[in-house]
Chain A
């Protein structure tokens, strides 16, 4: 083997120098984001019942000061003028600059006002989004692993499994949700169950969404767990069986542990995917982030601010998820075991 010499990769150097500040910023942002969410949840569910604090759904910070400040900034922008400077062009230049700055400041304060106003509602909705995602992906995973094993080792059972995955992956998620919610009498059945909708347990629409996401997620997860299964060398199972392990035990103790590590990047993509597509549950009346934000926007018409903030919240959730998963990946990493692509390639 010859001496391994390559010029040092320039991207490596770049990444090293920028990691310091961007790392600090993202940690700070993360703390702010999750700090807000957890305080809000704590307030709404625990403190409010105990009578402490402003009460469930009420703002921590009142909105009025922001609106007032925004108002005065915009007024000042309209009345802004500079006189008395020797040159006319200098006057108008400074005037335009001043108007622009004040106008921008006004818009910023206005957005802040909107943010403060809708924050409680968004936090509550974020809880639904997170719950929806986490439960669906966990359930989907428990279906996907056996499904993938059947696809690879299952003999004649391969074909129904294949049909299932192809059909689910070949049709839009939203159509599947519609079929489940409007098309099948699931909604009625669930509603009749006394537990659903009682107290803190969410409405039936939520559970139908869970079913829909679980089924959809299971098909995709099965696909790349299958890919990961196939990348594990055949010799591994052969060696296991040579020791006397049965096929099932061989799969369970030798093949799957390696498979699951291969599948982590793909699985992270699935998590992010579900986080984003949970927005579709809004169409079957689940009060998750998109639904809540859209309702507010349709009554106040502050589309820009609201959708902008909505995007920020989703980004916060997505980036947190990818962060956690890359830590998990490092934690369980075994040298020499690589990766499989997931639903969509990419880092987020």
Chain B
């Protein structure tokens, strides 16, 4: 049973059990438009699942590419450093909408997508006897959206990590080298652990931004929350305000809970005694 339907079923069952009469009266108080929205809630929640998955895949791609890029910008030299800087400027200076459209309409992503889907199929085969399943295949829109959001996020995350690395006092590296560590060993055990902790606030910000920008994927037809809201709007145009408010509420809940979770992570891994 897919999560969206499950969630809405549970909520309705609970509501029904608790107080049928109360539910009846509230239901009749809501206008026709709100009723429309709530009836289609499971369709929207399906979109939420896509939104969340898209956010996570994009952020992961961003970390994978962004953190090394940040390190190169601080410690690299010559061509690699220049390349990273210029790519960064390109991805930070172009609207995400344009990047997404470019990835979907222009980039020959089929070349990557084909092998990727075969890989997924393989994983699915392996997982066959278990109760888990991999997604059947990754759609072009989802892939393009992940690439777009991921690469742009990498460009920004490289800046976050770069800032964190630069903010570490020179004396830390000096002390590490004074006991005989090579620069690489010092980076691994002294500099990077501290830089990661200092990156958390910026990362928190970035996560929220990616989460909200998944909504732009509606322009390439991906069935995330905003696109599905749009679909409902087409069905019943009078309900547009209610639909949008409902969707906005969902986004708000998502960003709020993400921020509080990352606050928790920040506090948990913070260095005792240091204020952020």
Contact = CB atoms under 8 A, between A and B. Distances in A.
Q: Please tell me whether chains A and B touch each other in their complex, using a CB distance cut-off of 8 A.
A: yes
B195 interface: no
B256 to A, nearest CB: 6
Contact of A183 (B93, B155, B219, B244): B244
A14 B82 CA distance: 10
Interface of A: 6, 10-11, 14, 18, 166-167, 169-176, 178-179, 182-184, 272, 276-280, 282-283, 290, 294, 297, 303-304, 307-308, 310-311, 314-315, 318-319, 341, 343-348
Nearest to B73: A11
Nearest to A346: B159
B102 A183 contact: no
A90 B233 CA distance: 63
Contact of B98 (A18, A304, A314): A314
B153 to A, nearest CB: 10
Contacts of B130: none
Nearest to B99: A311
Given A167-B252, A277-B95, A182 B240 contact: yes
Given A171-B248, A182-B233, A343-B205, A319 B155 contact: no
A91 B255 CA distance: 62
Contact of B248 (A6, A14, A175, A310): A175
Interface in B61-110: 74, 77, 81-82, 88-90, 92-99, 101-102, 105-106
A344 B210 CA distance: 11
A310 B93 contact: no
Interface of B: 74, 77, 81-82, 88-90, 92-99, 101-102, 105-106, 155-156, 159-160, 163, 170, 202, 205-206, 208-209, 212-213, 215-216, 218-219, 226, 229, 233, 240-241, 244-245, 247-248, 251-252, 255-256
Interface centre among A166, A174, A310, A345 (most CB of B within 10 A): A345
A348 B85 CA distance: 11
Contacts of B247: 175
Nearest to A178: B244
30 contacts: A10-B77, A169-B208, A169-B255, A170-B252, A171-B251, A175-B215, A175-B244, A176-B248, A178-B240, A178-B244, A276-B94, A279-B95, A279-B98, A280-B97, A280-B216, A282-B97, A283-B219, A290-B97, A294-B101, A303-B101, A307-B106, A308-B106, A310-B98, A311-B90, A315-B90, A341-B202, A344-B159, A345-B202, A346-B156, A346-B160
A278 to B, nearest CB: 8
Most A C-beta atoms less than 10 A away, residue of B82, B88, B102: B102
B226 A182 contact: no
Interchain residue pairs A-B with the least CB separation, the first 8: A346-B159, A183-B241, A276-B95, A318-B93, A172-B212, A170-B252, A172-B215, A279-B95
